[in-house]
Structure 1
Amino acid sequence: MQAFLAFLQYFVAALLLLGAFLVVYVRVTPYNEFELIKQDNAAAAISLAGACIGFALPMAAAIYLTHDLLEMIKWAVITGAAQIAVFTLLRRFAPAIEQGHTAPAIFLCAMSVATGVLNAVCIS
């Protein structure tokens, strides 16, 4: 039962942190990804998916390596900032993504995931 409660605590915390990240990320971008996804904009879905994966990978590493809820929260802030930095650096692709062009979205997705992987392996 103790293991299940620990799982539940980390899982719920990670989901809440992911949700908070998504709220912030969507506010940073010049468009609302959720609205664009409702309109079947695959480019918005691809770029947002990359940011989610790029955020979740370091969260998984933080949970696995630190076994500390407060440490996971600290890494969530760092990871969220890294994902926002990726978008900020590649912001010039935003108009194309908003218009539904998938090539820039795939590139943004790849950079978000790559940043997340690098972020995850740097956690110790």
Structure 2
Amino acid sequence: MIIFNIFISIVVIIILQLLGMVVFSWMTPYNDLEELKKGNAAVGLAMGGRFFGTAILLGVSAYTNASIWHMILWFVVGYVCLIVSYWVFDWVTPGLRLSEHLQKGNLAVGILLCFVFIGMGFAVSSLII
């Protein structure tokens, strides 16, 4: 029974991680995968930060909740916070359209967003505990 529960948890985590990446890709006006194929390191850094921030939320949600449903609930709460943090960060930097700079390959913006997502993943996950 324990092995089955671990298997189900892993499957749910993989599905949530993939859904998280898909939702974030819908938010960008460009195709993330096409930009990666072009070698756009800025987009790669931002995506890596999203992936890592999402993984932090998933890990803490899985660790602190015995129920799959509670894990999913807390992940969704944390994930919404990551999305909101992106919108707020874009809003408070009016002279800097983040998506445009990422698409142009601005590494500084890619690095900054990478750490915004990772930092928010850590910060929000501390609320889950």
TM-score, normalised to structure 2, is 0.89
Q: How many residues align?
A: 123
2:57–2:79 Cα contact (<8 Å) kept: no
Any gaps of 5 or more consecutive residues in structure 2? 91-96
- What's the CA shift string for 1:50-99, capped at 9, x where partnerless? 01111110111111111210011112211221221122123322111101
CA RMSD of aligned residues (A): 1.2
Greater Cα offset, 82-91 or 108-117: 82-91
Residue number in structure 2 paired with 1:98: 103
Question: For the Cα contact (< 8 Å) 1:90–1:108, is it kept in 2?
Answer: no
Give the corresponding residue for 1:112.
117
Q: Tell me how far 1:122 sits from its aligned partner.
A: 1.1
Quick one: percent identity of the two aligned structures?
24
**Equivalent position amino acid for 1:106 in 2:** I
- Structure 1 unaligned segments of length 5 or more: list them: none
1:75 aligned onto 2:74? yes
Aligned residue for 1:60? 59
CA contact (8 A) 2:49 2:113 kept: yes
Deviation above 3 Å: which 4+ runs of structure 1? Answer: none
- The question of whether the paired residues in 2 share the 8 Å contact of 1:28 and 1:84 is answered with no
